[in-house]
Amino acid sequence: MENTERMEIFLEELLQKNSNYDIERIERAYRKAEEIHEGQMRKSGEDYLTHPMAVAQILADLGMDENTIIAGLLHDAVEDTPYSQEDLKKDFGDEIAVLVDGVTKLGSLVYESKEERQAENLRKMFLAMSKDIRVLIIKLADRLHNLRTINYMNESQIKEKCKETLEIYAPLASRLGIYAMKFELEDIALKELDPDVYYDLVKQVSMKKELRIDHINKVIDVIKESLDNLNIAYEIKGRNKHFYSIYRKMKYQGKQLDEIFDLTAVRVIVESVKDCYAVLGIVHTRWKPIPGRFKDYIAMPKPNRYQSLHTTVIDDNGDPFEIQIRTAEMHKIAEYGIAAHWKYKEGVEEDREEVKLAWLRQTLEWQTDLNDSREFMETLKVDLFSNQVFVFTPKGDVIELPAGSTPLDFAFKIHSAIGAKCVGAKVNGKMVPIDYTLRNGEIVDIVTSSNSKGPSIDWLKIVKSNAARNKIRQYLKKENKGEDISKGKEMLEKYIRRKGYDPQLIIRTQWINKVAKNLNISSSDDLYSQISYGGVMLSKVSTLLLGFYHEDKQLELKGKEKEIKAIEERKRVHETPTNGITVEGMDDLLVRFSKCCNPVPGDEIIGFITKGRGISVHRVDCFNIISLPESEKPRLIPVEWNQAKKNIAYNADIQILAEDRKGLFSDISRVCEDMDVHIAGVNAKSSKENIATITMTLSLTNTGQLEKVLRQLRSVQGVADVYRSSL
């Protein structure tokens, strides 16, 4: 197809979706995208332009405005081409430049891990979303098209993208109420992550499809007859549950396929709210409702503005089925969510209604307090994307909390001062303890006391929301600092001792201060205080301390180099190649490598004349050499690597500190295999805190190869530190 023909078809399709689009502006954006992406290809072999075109079409399907369509066409321009943000602003204006900047990754910065990069990209996106929610809608359209064409990626990329989609992007689509997009994202991700489960589910659902269709058609006929008699205008049809939703119910609720009531449902769309309740009355008169299975999302909408009546009833044969009842406007919102609210007039931008999203404001509040990428991601998944529970204040305000929340979570959500003075709660008028698990629809009234001693460390185990947990930690930090400092020191000493190190060697003032600075904590006292109440992980403090310990030890060892060189200058050079080593001034001596430091070509080395076992070769920074008594130092002798023997393999010991997880050693082994490095020995252990300590002996030819291996191992997921063993 010619480029001009392709463009004309694309623009015509957009006009069919919205005749108010200024098609000349969109054509200009199309031509610019075509120009700057010229020569770029997707992994499928198609022109790269097919991707921004598809993103723009998805946005048009959602009913988005003209500027969003243009931003969709140019969303990869700044990131993937020489076209700059300034060029974009000059050609298409500030608004479109802001939208594109919001979805552009932080590509120029270097991060320690993929998790840190992901966290910072999400932080940037959330900040942009707070200014304009269309940033997220464009990002979701981008992700949807990438998933539709994901089979052209390699297996590891597919797994990574699909996992991220289920954890981040599908829940975000749900938060915006764009269920059509959420369902497709989830089903594609499930199919790629677990194809056996997906296709087995498809097979099971298809086996009884005809029976369900026949059943639903009979239900529809009964409802139609009743509605026709009442002269209510309606649209009625069946609705199939998407596969990922079925999979979640089967996996997490332990249900069999036949136990899922809403596998297929009937959806009735009417003109008014009054008609919704009229239809509900007809349904409950004709069939018996199942207690506890009626949900009125019209009276109490979901935070994403979803409204509908849901009821599950029993038919004449005793089989349950679900009926959903809503207005046409409610249905539009249910399919397209926040995109359905977007206002646009031809040629005129009117004052758009500010989108008030409590969850987004909450995210912006707590993300500024979280410096740790892992903590940010966990908080995001728990507080933002977990299942929710909706409860009421005594005044009738709806409060949204993560599922499993307690009255303490509720209290801190209302106000920090109320949470700090909470001594109990009334739920539906009855007293309950502060660790009571709240359920949907309950009315919660917090009981406070001025005599309350305030939060304790135990409260951190009670609350489920990270927002409440952070407020409790802040309170503990202020109120119990002296006691916490002492407790934190004791906890750290015990942890270091359990890891096999002497706390007096590791916990030194200069290193503790460096750890505090690294974690953006104001002082060592504050660091100890945070350790005491769980504000910072012991494993992280320990890893940093050990890193500083080894780093300083290396500097200390290097201070001995001048002394070693002085010894070298006093010796007369006479080369005797032995095992790849040249010994100065001596012939026919047995030379062996010390196992305490395992030197490798490229290391600075020194020889030690042993009693009856020849010359033992050490690294100059070997602890045994540095700590050698003065009386023994005359036995040191200069040695060198024999440059003629470059392909001899030598053993080197390294130590890896990592978060213990399934597949960790497999990933570490793969790095060595990819770099053609033989693992000559391995020893691993895991602590109660789920920290793995792995000591490996690698067969190498030089220090350059060793450094490359260490760099690659540091990039493995969960690895906190990798260093060469000195002893």
Residue pLDDT, tens place only, 156-190: 889 988 988 887 788 888 877 788 888 899 999 99
**Which is more confident, 564 or 414?**
414
How confident is the prediction for the chain on average, in pLDDT?
79
Q: Is the pLDDT of residue 260 over 90?
A: no
CB 593 within 8 A of CB 617: yes
- Determine the average pLDDT of the residues in 99-119: 58
Does 161 reside within a domain?
A: no
The CATH number linked to 671 is: 3.30.70.260
Q: Averaged over 74-79, what is the pLDDT? A: 89
pLDDT, residue 96, reads 92
- pLDDT band of residue 409 (cuts 50, 70, 90) is very high
Give the rounded percent of residues in the chain with a pLDDT score beyond 90: 15
Query: What is the band of 306 on the pLDDT scale with cuts at 50, 70, 90?
Result: confident
Instruction: Indicate if 313 and 404 belong to the same structural domain.
Output: no
- The Cα angle at residue 716 between residues 714 and 718, in degrees rounded to 5: 95
Q: Beta-carbon neighbour count of residue 25 at 10 Å?
A: 16
Residue 170 within a domain: no
Q: Is 486 found in the same domain as 472?
A: no
pLDDT of residue 362: 53
Residues 321 and 417 in one domain: no
CA distance 357 to 369: 20
**Burial classification of residue 460, based on how many CB atoms lie within 10 Å of its CB (0-12 exposed, 13-18 middle, 19 or more buried):** middle
pLDDT at 110: 40
Confidence of residue 387 (pLDDT cuts 50, 70, 90): low
- The answer, yes or no, to whether residue 207 has pLDDT greater than 80, is no
Residue 131 has pLDDT above 80, yes or no: no
Domain count, the chain: 6
Q: How many CB atoms lie within 10 A of CB 480?
A: 18
DSSP output for 598-617 = ---BTB-EEEEE-SSS-EEE
pLDDT at residue 33 in the model? 92
CA-to-CA dists, residue 658 to 255, 376, 668, 683, 685, angstroms = 37, 19, 11, 14, 11
pLDDT average, residue stretch 129-143 = 81
Tokens of 238: 């069946």
Q: What is the pLDDT of residues 317-333, one digit of tens each?
A: 777 888 999 999 888 88
Question: What per-residue confidence (pLDDT) applies to 191?
Answer: 92
Domain assignment of residue 299, yes or no: yes
Tell me the mean pLDDT in the region 340-349: 42
533 and 566 assigned to the same domain: no
Question: Which band of pLDDT confidence, cut at 50, 70 and 90, is reported for residue 120?
Answer: low
- Can you give the pLDDT at residue 122? 60
The yes-or-no verdict on residue 644 having pLDDT over 70 is no
Residue 148: predicted pLDDT: 92
Residues 622-635 have a mean pLDDT of 83
DSSP code at position 624: H
Q: How far is CA 450 from CA 416, 579, 586, in A?
A: 14, 79, 85
List, by residue number, the catalytic residues.
79-80
Which residues, in sequence order, are bridge partners of residue 657?
693, 721
116: pLDDT confidence band, cut at 50, 70 and 90?
low
d(CA 179, CA 182): 5
Domain that holds residue 364: 358-477
Q: Looking at the predicted structure, is the pLDDT value of residue 136 above 70?
A: yes
Q: Is the residue at 38 inside a domain?
A: yes
Determine the pLDDT at residue 369: 47
The pLDDT value recorded for residue 533 is 67
The CATH number of the domain where 282 resides is what? 3.30.460.10
Residue at token pair 């006391």: 449
Instruction: Indicate whether 574 and 472 sit together in one domain.
Output: no
> Which residue, chain included where needed, has tokens 């995208």?
33
- d(C-alpha 536, C-alpha 520), whole Å: 11
Q: What is the pLDDT of residue 589?
A: 65
**Which pLDDT band holds residue 575 (cuts at 50, 70, 90)?**
very low
With a cut of 50, say whether residue 39 has pLDDT above it: yes
Alpha carbon of 346 to those of 65, 137, 158: distances in Å?
A: 10, 21, 41
| pLDDT higher at 529 or 17 | 17
Instruction: Look at residue 157 and tell me if it is in a domain.
Output: no
The residue among 524, 531, 491 whose CA lies nearest residue 508 is 524
String of DSSP letters for 433-449: -TTPPP-TT-BEEEEE-
49 has pLDDT over 70: yes
Whether 7 and 102 map to the same domain: the answer is yes
pLDDT at 213 over 90: no
612 with 487, same domain: the answer is no
Q: Do 310 and 375 share a domain, yes or no?
A: no
Q: Which of 319-323, 334-338, 360-364, 695-699 has the lowest mean pLDDT?
A: 360-364
pLDDT of 367 strictly over 80: no
Do 406 and 440 belong together in one domain?
yes
Higher pLDDT, 533 or 341: 533
Among residues 607, 641, 675, which one ends one of the domains? 641
Answer whether residue 459 is part of any domain.
yes
Q: How confident is the model at residue 562 (pLDDT cuts 50, 70, 90)?
A: low
Q: What are the pLDDT digits (tens) for 434-473?
A: 889 998 778 899 998 888 877 877 788 788 887 788 788 7
Would you call 436 helix, strand, or coil by DSSP? coil
Given 306, 341, 376, the domain boundary residue is 341
- 586, 617, 641 — which closes off a domain? 641
Residue 597: the pLDDT is 82
Per the document, the length of the chain is 727
Say yes or no: 541 and 582 in one domain.
Answer: no
pLDDT the model gives residue 675: 87
| Cα diameter, the chain | 114
Task: Summarize pLDDT for 689-707 with one digit per residue, the tens.
Answer: 678 888 888 888 887 888 8
pLDDT value at residue 271 = 92
pTM assigned to the model: 0.52
Do 429 and 304 share a structural domain? Answer: no
pLDDT of residue 676: 84
Q: Which of residues 626 and 484 earns the better pLDDT score?
A: 626
Quick check: 69 pLDDT over 90? yes
42 pLDDT more than 50: yes
Residue 713 lies in a domain: yes
How much of the chain, in percent, has pLDDT values that exceed 70? 79
- The verdict on residue 273 lying in a domain is yes
14 and 133 within one domain: yes
pLDDT at 375: 53
